[in-house]
Amino acid sequence: MKLWHVNTTARGGGVAEILDALCRFPQPESQLTHCRFVTSQNTDVFTATKRIHHRLHGVDRGGLPDEREHAVFLEFAEQNALRLLPRLAAQDTVLLHDPQTLPLAPILAEAGVPVAWRCHIGTAAINNVADETWQYLSRFWPPGITLIFSHQSLVPAQAAEHRVEIVPPSIDPASAKNELMSVTEIGDVLASVGLTGPRSAPVRHDHELVSEGRLGSDPVILQVSRWDPLKDMEGVLRAFAGSALHRSAQLVLCGPSPQSVADDPEAKTVLENVVRQWRGLPTAIRSRAHLVCTALDDEVGNARVVNALQRRAAVVAQRSVQEGFGLTVTEAMLKARPVVATRVGGIPSQIAHNETGLLLRGSAGDDEFSEAVDCLLNDTARASGLGRAAAAHAAQHFTTSREASDHRRIFAPSFHRNEERIG
């Protein structure tokens, strides 16, 4: 049987990468086969669902879809259901990803298609904003739908009457973003985007670099994220500039080019705000902070840049205000990097404080963040120990093979039972 994954973009963000890995994952004969269906693009839908994205994290950046937006949402679902239905065979199941695709669920269910929905975002700290948003989304849950969440704490009360499964996200250790790289390869990649080497060296123009200096041999503090207000790239830059960190280390903030991520209309504004903040820094600090935008049109090139940066980093930060799971944390852990991250969303399900990384309170200020990073920069033995423990934990729990097994358990139970007996 085939499991059709429906997503709004083929590239950009963790969900697209998960689906790419699953669709490439070796599948023995008669096992569940993963296929991907990418919806059409609709700016009005993505603008409304970006507000929903924030609201599911308890952050009110605008109301629920109004009557016009709701109608556009439904039309978007009908158009894409008409494209998808002819591709489905009798035994196929459809797995919808995140709020953008959810309105397809009742249409597919009415057509007799087994349907599931996976929400990769949310917060355990449900407030009125999040609860109101779940009320809105739950109207699209038909009887018999399977609901999938990344962590038990993210399951809303509205899901109580439905089948619920927990599937943590995963990464592919063999992908270009996670494969081993030599020191020479790392240096070549970073030189290609202008972070190392002489100023006169040729720089690839498919990536954008906002920088006035070079990394040199200094330790690097890195955060890789979408340009999203909930990732708090501005807060990382502010903490770096306002502490002693800029005297001994350098900072790299890396995210995808806003033009490459069609379903994130806020990215351009967030990036512009970070660049404006960077330009306002004193020259001595500005030369030690670097902004990198990777172009997703070159998927392998983008992945290698992120891989090289994560392997070059002395400390990886993830100072998210809210976080559904945080695959950039997983990636850094797999590479044995010590991570300093906020205790929000799915991050605590990956990091055990003082064992596989350092966790900060969601309300931690700049000083607390800077002190945690500085502690790891000055205690390399502790940093290395956390990194090694992180790598072992990520390899055991958060790889594509484990996620493929979860999907077999949920969507092909008879095969999974046979597999267990053989094992």
pLDDT value at residue 297 = 76
Average confidence (pLDDT) per 10 residues, the chain, 423 residues: 92 86 79 92 91 93 92 96 96 96 97 97 92 97 97 94 96 95 95 82 67 94 94 97 96 88 77 96 96 86 95 97 90 98 92 97 92 97 98 96 94 54 36
Query: Is residue 78 within 8 Å of 42, Cβ to Cβ?
Result: no
Residue-range domains of the chain with CATH: 2-170+400-422 (3.40.50.2000), 183-397 (3.40.50.2000)
pLDDT value at residue 13 = 77
pTM (2 d.p.)? 0.86
pLDDT value at residue 11 = 77
One DSSP character per residue, 198-245 reads: -TTS---TTSEEE-SS--TTS-EEEEE--S-GGG-HHHHHHHHHTSTH
Q: What residues contact residue 280 under an 8 Å CB cut-off, 6+ apart? A: none
pLDDT value at residue 422 = 33
pLDDT value at residue 322 = 86
Q: What residues contact residue 331 under an 8 Å CB cut-off, 6+ apart? A: 171, 177, 178, 224, 306, 310
pLDDT value at residue 263 = 60
pLDDT value at residue 76 = 96
pLDDT digits (tens, 9 = 90+) for 26-79: 876 657 899 999 999 999 999 999 999 999 999 998 899 999 999 999 999 999
Cα separation of 59 and 368, whole Å? Answer: 23
Of 177, 206, 209, nearest to 196 (Cα)?
A: 209
Cα angle 263, 264, 267 (rounded to 5 degrees) comes to 155
Query: Is residue 223 within 8 Å of 253, Cβ to Cβ?
Result: yes
